[in-house]
């Protein structure tokens, strides 16, 4: 995407006109985004990409004349600045790798178009990689099944940059994203971007507990990311500095002679929460004035509460202008806490309790549960989409380790892993 502008020129390639029409409808709602061309087969997609030089090309994997993989390679050759989003019906980790190896930056299932395509286009336009949660989980499961087999292509062993190694060091010292940003003089968002790239290069979906017992590759070497392995015991031959999948637990690495508390970093879990509410009137209606007047002090109370980590907010300082669904009367609140006890103390044992007790004055009673909790790796900031998926699961299936509530809580997961 050109710097300093929100304009985006997009090419859409799919052999079904109905699909192209649906994609146009999704993209049209974004100000500054324009579909500058369409193609009904792979060869036409390459020709138009060569002529139009779009910022983003959305390419179906299954097209006549030239399939999506070949089309992606040729589009990247003809227009190197064009970022490619591949659409497919195939839930296959092998296909994901083939698509990424071909040069695409995003892999989106057609069943996920409505919820993830716009986000995918936005992310790849900034030069970043995008996988939907379902595809990320698919790739993760593949790693878990074949964790002791090296990847002959070496695709997931790219070496972190010096800046990424520096961020690994700071995270290893126990610094939060905000503290890392302050130390390095960069934004928190930049730290999050670097952290995501680090996880991709290490073959991780997130900093999560499965990595302790199931590293992605048997031949993943510590020195490949600038980390020195612990010295071998005196009197023993020095073993290769590997994180071996046969080890029951990786205790630590050493960073320039300093211990890297990998176990602690990966196993620290925080508690995420989401709750939604439907207003009885618009936010600017006098009926809601009592609620609006308390937003700032209650948010400030949360920010300084013991155990508070993060809350969803926009530039306004709260989340009332962040959309949860198509219903403009539904507002969403999300936050992350160090423990269940920290959240419970804030919700029910602080001044927040009074607001909670008065909720019937401002909100409609909902037919389904409008709240849930779930565990996340420390440093992970859940999205509204993630929160909605957790809440819908709780509404359908009740309390499970995937999403639960105070009344039927589940303890922190152990080495079995935590899903994000």
Q: Tell me the pLDDT band of 418, cut-offs 50, 70 and 90.
A: very low
CATH number of 8-130: 3.40.50.2300
CATH number of 269-397: 3.30.70.100
Q: What was the pLDDT predicted at 12?
A: 97
Q: Is 174 helix (H, G, I), strand (E, B) or coil?
A: coil
Kindly report the three-state secondary structure assignment for every residue of 115-139: HHHHHHHHHHHCCCCEECHHHHHHH
The answer for 103, left when phi > 0, alpha when psi is -120 to 50, beta otherwise, is left
Find out if CATH 3.30.70.20 is the number for domain 155-232+240-266.
Answer: no
The mean pLDDT value of the chain amounts to 76
Q: What is the mean pLDDT of residues 329-346?
A: 93
Q: What was the pLDDT predicted at 357?
A: 86
Q: What was the pLDDT predicted at 362?
A: 94
Residue pair 108/96 in contact (Cβ under 8 Å)? The answer is no
Q: What was the pLDDT predicted at 318?
A: 80
Q: What was the pLDDT predicted at 89?
A: 85
Domain boundaries, the chain: 8-130, 155-232+240-266, 269-397
Instruction: Sheet with 330-337: list strands edge to edge.
Output: 308-311, 330-337, 269-278, 371-377
Residue pair 312/319 in contact (Cβ under 8 Å)? The answer is yes
Distances (CA, A) of 159 to 155, 164, 379: 10, 9, 22
pLDDT in tens, 50-97: 999 999 999 999 888 888 999 999 999 989 999 999 998 888 777 888
Residue 343 predicted with pLDDT over 90? yes
* Half-sphere exposure for 360 (CA within 13 Å, toward CB): 1
| Alpha-carbon dihedral angle through residues 122, 333, 176, 417, given to the nearest 10 degrees | -90
Residue 276 predicted with pLDDT over 70? yes
Greater confidence, 275 or 128?
275
Q: Tell me the pLDDT band of 410, cut-offs 50, 70 and 90.
A: confident
């Amino acid at each position: 995407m050109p710097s300093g502008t929100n304009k985006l020129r997009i090419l859409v390639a799919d052999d079904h006109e109905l699909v192209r029409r649906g994609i146009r409808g999704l993209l049209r709602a974004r100000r500054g985004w324009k579909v500058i061309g369409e193609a009904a087969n792979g060869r036409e997609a390459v020709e138009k990409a060569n002529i139009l030089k779009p910022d983003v090309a959305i390419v179906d994997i299954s097209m006549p004349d030239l399939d999506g993989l070949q089309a992606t390679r040729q589009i990247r050759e003809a227009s190197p600045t064009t970022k490619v989003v591949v659409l497919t019906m195939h839930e296959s980790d092998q296909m994901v790798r083939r698509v990424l190896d071909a040069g695409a930056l995003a892999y989106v299932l057609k069943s996920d178009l409505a919820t993830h395509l716009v986000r995918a286009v936005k992310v790849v336009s900034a030069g970043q990689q995008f996988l939907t949660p379902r595809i990320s989980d698919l790739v993760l499961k593949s790693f878990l099944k074949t964790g002791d087999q090296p990847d002959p292509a070496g695709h997931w062993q790219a070496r972190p940059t010096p800046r990424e190694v520096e961020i690994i060091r700071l995270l290893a010292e126990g610094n939060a994203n905000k503290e890392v940003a302050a130390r390095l003089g960069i934004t928190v968002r930049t730290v999050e971007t670097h952290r995501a790239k680090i996880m991709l290069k290490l073959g991780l979906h997130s900093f999560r507990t499965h990595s302790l017992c199931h590293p992605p590759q048997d031949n993943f070497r510590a020195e490949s990311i600038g980390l020195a392995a612990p010295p071998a015991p005196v009197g023993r031959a020095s073993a290769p500095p590997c994180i071996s999948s046969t080890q029951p637990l990786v205790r630590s690495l050493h960073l320039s002679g300093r211990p890297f508390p990998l176990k602690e970093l990966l196993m620290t879990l925080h508690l995420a929460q989401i709750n939604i509410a439907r207003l009885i009137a618009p936010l600017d209606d006098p009926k809601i004035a009592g609620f609006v007047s308390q937003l700032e002090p209650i948010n400030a109370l949360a920010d300084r509460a013991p155990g508070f980590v993060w809350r969803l907010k926009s530039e306004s300082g709260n989340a009332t202008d962040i959309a949860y669904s198509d219903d403009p009367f539904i507002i969403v609140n999300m936050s992350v806490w160090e423990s269940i006890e920290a959240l419970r103390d804030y919700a029910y044992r602080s001044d927040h309790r009074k607001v909670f007790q008065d909720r019937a004055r401002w909100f409609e009673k909902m037919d389904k549960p409008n709240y849930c909790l779930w565990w996340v790796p420390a440093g992970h900031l859940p999205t509204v989409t993630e929160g909605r998926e957790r809440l819908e699961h709780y509404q359908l299936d009740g309390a499970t380790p995937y999403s639960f509530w105070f009344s039927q809580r589940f303890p922190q997961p152990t080495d079995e892993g935590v899903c994000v």
